[in-house]
């Protein structure tokens, strides 16, 4: 058995957090991948090839449809996960993974994308979700014990690494734990700059209410601009009802389609408050600018008037004004790509390895890491 384990919250879809796990696996060759529950057919070839080890949650029915509804069971799965055979454990966490049990002399580093939104920012998370009045009354009572568990779990890692300054501030405020900021990676080489630019804007996102895709739909409908939305999720039906004739939904799409659509767009629209602005950097890697909400992690990845424009009010009107402002500027694809290169996957791997070496100190983990890095 490898002396190194990577634990990812769940592997039920591909997104920014899953790209981080791919990069962690490259930084830690030979590591064993663990998770609570996985849908291999939805994962990249890299993650499928690692054959992630799942907890007893793999036996639950209708996993791909109901995995979000099992939110009360994830802490139980974490508590029954034993990683004491490993000298190094890196948990990639946006929910529960930080709580895995390790050996006292092992090194446990938590790469924290954010403290769980549904627990600590519940009102924002469910504000636009379609819920019955009964469910809205009951859910806070169910989430309260999750918050207490999360605080206990946050004491278990030896070190925290945050994906952004925004997340680092939340980790300190909620958990009282300091963290080093290492921004998540993008694979710059996956994207190319296209000479042919189409007449459309693009959104690439999970369709969840807090992502505020409704603002992009409203802005493009007002302006009569074509918008292509790539992604799927529980908010899709509501968004389709809001959409005018210039809005197109592609659903989930393979990487080659996503990269082609980004390369040919007028700009990428990024309307929600995120923990870090990863997708804007992917657009920049393809030489395309961004329209983003001025808040959260996007402040760390979007340079105003250099790689994109911001809108300041959470309204379709404000976003529409930012789109018009973007159209009135000239954008240098080479400059955009050079900005994206400062977040490349190779740099992330170097930074993670440097941090782990420093964190390992005199533990058995140091010998394991040095053997891997040779």
pLDDT at 132: 66
Q: For the segment 26-59, what is each residue's pLDDT rounded down to a tens digit?
A: 999 999 999 999 999 999 999 999 999 999 999 9
Q: For the segment 153-199, what is each residue's pLDDT rounded down to a tens digit?
A: 999 999 999 999 999 999 999 999 999 999 999 999 999 999 889 99
For 56, list phi and psi in degrees, rounded to 5: -60, -10
Hey, what domains does the chain have and what are their CATH numbers?
A: 4-185+344-373 (3.40.50), 189-339 (3.40.50.2000)
The pLDDT mean for the chain works out to: 92
Burial per residue of 28-66, b for 16 or more beta-carbon CB atoms within 10 angstroms, e otherwise: beebbbbbbbbeeeebeeebeebebebbebeeeeebeee
Q: For the segment 226-241, what is each residue's pLDDT rounded down to a tens digit?
A: 999 999 988 999 999 9
CB distance 210 to 238 below 8 Å? no
pLDDT at 113: 93
Q: For the segment 107-125, what is each residue's pLDDT rounded down to a tens digit?
A: 999 999 999 987 887 776 6
Residue 59, sorted as left (phi over 0), alpha (psi -120 to 50) or beta, turns out to be alpha
CB distance 267 to 289 below 8 Å? yes
For strands 159-162 and 53-54, give the pairing. Answer: unpaired
Q: For the segment 267-276, what is each residue's pLDDT rounded down to a tens digit?
A: 999 999 888 8
pLDDT at 251: 93
What average pLDDT does this structure show over 326-345? 95
Work out the percent of the chain whose per-residue pLDDT is above 70.
Answer: 95
For residue 1, is pLDDT > 60? Answer: no
CB distance 308 to 300 below 8 Å? no
User: Residue 45: which H helix or E strand, with range?
Assistant: helix 45-49
For residue 242, is pLDDT > 80? Answer: yes
């Amino acid at each position: 058995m490898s002396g190194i384990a990577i634990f990812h919250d769940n592997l039920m879809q591909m997104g920014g957090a899953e790209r981080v796990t791919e990069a962690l696996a490259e930084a830690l060759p030979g590591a064993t991948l663990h998770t609570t529950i996985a849908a291999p057919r939805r994962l990249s070839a890299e993650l499928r090839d690692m054959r992630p080890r799942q907890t007893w949650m793999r036996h639950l029915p209708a996993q791909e449809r109901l995995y979000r509804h099992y939110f009360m069971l994830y802490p139980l799965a974490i508590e029954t996960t034993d990683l004491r055979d490993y000298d190094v454990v890196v948990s990639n966490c946006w929910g529960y993974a930080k709580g895995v049990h390790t050996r006292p002399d092992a090194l446990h580093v938590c790469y924290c994308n954010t403290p769980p939104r549904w627990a600590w920012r519940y009102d924002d998370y469910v504000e636009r979700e379609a819920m019955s009045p009964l469910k809205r009354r009951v859910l806070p009572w169910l989430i309260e014990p999750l918050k207490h568990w999360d605080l206990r779990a946050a004491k278990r890692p030896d070190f925290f690494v945050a994906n952004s300054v925004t997340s680092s501030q939340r980790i300190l405020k909620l958990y009282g734990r300091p963290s080093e900021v290492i921004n998540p990676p993008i694979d710059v080489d996956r994207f190319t700059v296209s000479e042919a630019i189409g007449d459309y804007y693009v959104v690439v996102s999970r369709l969840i209410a807090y992502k505020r895709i409704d603002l992009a739909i409203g802005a493009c409908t007002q302006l009569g601009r074509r918008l292509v939305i790539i992604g799927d999720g529980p908010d899709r039906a509501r968004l389709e009802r809001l959409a005018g004739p210039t809005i197109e939904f592609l659903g989930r799409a393979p990487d080659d389609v996503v990269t082609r659509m980004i390369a040919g767009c007028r700009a990428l629209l990024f309307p929600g408050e995120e923990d870090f602005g990863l997708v804007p950097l992917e657009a920049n890697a393809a030489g395309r600018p961004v329209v983003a909400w001025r808040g959260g992690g996007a402040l760390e990845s979007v340079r105003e008037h250099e790689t994109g424009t911001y809108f300041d009010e959470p309204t379709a009107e404000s976003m529409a004004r930012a789109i018009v402002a973007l159209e009135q500027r000239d954008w240098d694809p080479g400059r955009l790509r050079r900005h994206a290169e400062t977040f490349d996957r190779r740099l992330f791997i170097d930074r993670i390895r440097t941090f782990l070496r420093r964190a390992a100190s005199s533990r058995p983990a140091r010998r394991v890491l040095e053997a891997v890095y040779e």
